[in-house]
């Protein structure tokens, strides 16, 4: 159902993340009908507008001007103008500009209406096959290797699935850093070039992913979403997680089974019997 554009209202419009057909009918109508479109890159959005025969006024709103430009745009909306906010790709504000504008709009009592559509992280998790009833989106990873490793260290025990964006410049280094900190058998999905010709969704372990990036150089090209499963959630009476097993293994190198189990109970809060059985299995397999 089409809804007429309202004066004095701000619309947040999702645009495609690659395939230009991934835009809603409502988004097309709205981009044609609003008084003004605020775009991250006005040249970039023109390709989409040309494809759908949209002719409308554009104004730039990007990370370098959004503090000042947002205030000016809010005044215009208060005077009765209808405005659509778009970013270069996907959903505005998701690792994209727009937060100051939307915040100011709420403060000014302006109605903000989302026009939903493509978003790389949502597209990636829907095709990942990983547990996603709970997930954390962390945006872009730090650029340096040491900062990335600290980030992965913090994530080691995170119980739910987490997601990051990464660029082609750093993707291989990122996977190698990840393999140094997280258990090699942890499952990971890399969603590359979603909705485009070379779309690839790989679900494997972290160790297998390191090998894939070494052997297939095409994997390093394009745009990436990385999804990592959380530390295994476990039944306290049944089994122990990979991380807890790693800890127990380390303790067993230095202590007797009894001491290792006592320390592990204190550190993990797991049942003594569970840890004792796991410790016996580990000691047997040495």
- Choose the binding region for ligand SAM from 149-157, 191-199, 238-246, 251-259 (rule: CB under 6 A): 191-199
Q: Taking CB under 6 A as the rule, does residue 99 contact ligand SAM? A: no
Footprint on residues 222-261 left by ligand SAM (CB under 6 A): 223-225
Shortest Å, Cβ 245 to ligand SAM: 32
* Whether 189 contacts 124, CB under 8 Å: yes
* Whether 156 contacts 241, CB under 8 Å: no
Tokens 């122990």 appear where?
240
Binder to ligand SAM among 91, 128, 161, 274 (CB under 6 A)?
91
- Choose the binding region for ligand SAM from 97-105, 189-197, 248-256, 260-268 (rule: CB under 6 A): 189-197
Of residues 229, 225, 261, 223, the one with CA closest to residue 245: 261
SS3 annotation, 59-128: EECCCCCHHHHHHHHHHHHHCCCCEEEECCCECCCCCCCCHHHHHHHHHCCCEEEEECCCCHHHHHHHCC
Q: How many residues does the chain have?
A: 286
Shortest Å, Cβ 162 to ligand SAM: 14
Binder to ligand SAM among 111, 167, 185, 259 (CB under 6 A)?
167
Shortest Å, Cβ 186 to ligand SAM: 20
Residues at the site binding ligand SAM, with contacts judged by CB under 6 A: 17-18, 87, 89-91, 94-96, 119-121, 165-167, 191-196, 223-225
């Amino acid at each position: 159902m089409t809804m007429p554009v309202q004066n004095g209202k701000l619309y947040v419009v999702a645009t495609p993340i690659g395939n230009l057909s991934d835009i809603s009918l409502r988004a097309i109508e709205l981009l044609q009908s609003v008084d003004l479109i605020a775009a991250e890159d006005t040249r970039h959005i023109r390709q989409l507008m040309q494809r759908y025969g949209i002719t409308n006024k554009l104004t730039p709103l990007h990370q370098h001007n959004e503090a000042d430009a947002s205030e000016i745009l809010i005044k215009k909306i208060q005077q009765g103008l209808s405005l659509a906010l778009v970013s270069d790709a996907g959903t505005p504000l998701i690792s994209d500009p727009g937060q100051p504008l939307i915040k100011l709009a709420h403060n000014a009592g302006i109605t903000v209406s989302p026009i939903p559509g493509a978003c790389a992280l949502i597209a990636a998790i829907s095709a990942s096959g990983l547990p996603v009833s709970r997930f954390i989106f962390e945006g872009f990873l730090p650029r340096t290797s040491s900062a990335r490793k600290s980030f992965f260290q913090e994530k080691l025990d995170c119980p739910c699935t987490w997601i990051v964006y990464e660029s082609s410049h750093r993707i291989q280094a990122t996977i190698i850093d990840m393999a140094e900190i997280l258990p090699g058998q942890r499952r990971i999905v890399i969603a590359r070039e979603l909705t485009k010709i070379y779309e690839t969704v790989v679900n494997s372990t972290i160790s297998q992913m390191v090998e894939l990036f070494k052997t297939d150089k095409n994997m390093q090209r394009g745009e990436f979403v990385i999804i990592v499963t959380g530390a295994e959630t476990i039944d306290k009476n049944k089994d122990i997680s990979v991380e807890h097993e790693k800890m127990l293994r380390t303790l067993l190198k230095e202590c007797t089974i009894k001491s290792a189990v006592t320390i592990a109970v204190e550190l993990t809060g797991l049942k003594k019997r569970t840890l004792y059985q796991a410790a016996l299995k580990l000691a047997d397999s040495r």
